[in-house]
Amino acid sequence: MEVKLGVASSPHVGEDVRRHYGEVYGEMLRELGVSLAESSDLAVVVVLTGGAKEEVLSQAASYNVLLAWPHYNSLPSVLEAAAALRGGGRYAKLLALLAPLASPSELLLRALRLISLKKTGIPKFGVVGRSNKWLVASGLGGGAPRRSRCRWRRTWRA
């Protein structure tokens, strides 16, 4: 799977810091077996600080995984950017990490698998055979399920 990696932050964060985070998270993605590409319809954007909504939107693709942590207002910035992406008709999955430079390993792989399923289309399921009487939800063709009676007794006195 090929993804476009982006790093977003407020304007006061230096380019060397952004480059460092890009290199670290790029290596983490390669260790997970994910290929990096210059352009893709799937983007992984690491949000370093608050005030990065516009930069996230400029680096976003059709399908997006946004990485954030509870420090430096990263998480509120990602929430705002995710709402804007969804409002524009794009897919946004937020992954909250414990700290900066924390590995998103299993969470990110699950999100990427989900996105690959969404890109290929929602799987369709069908009913094969007749419904079973012993299953509650199998009463597809036969009337409404029977109501059970419940009797309450007063066991205490005021």
Confidence of residue 77 (pLDDT cuts 50, 70, 90): very high
Task: List the domains of the chain with CATH numbers.
Answer: 2-120 (3.40.50)
pLDDT at 107: 87
How confident is the model over 63-92, as a mean pLDDT?
94
Residue 143 has pLDDT above 60, yes or no: no
Beta 2-8 vs 63-68: how paired, if at all?
unpaired
**How do residues 102-136 score in pLDDT, each as one tens digit?**
888 888 999 998 898 888 876 666 667 676 666 66
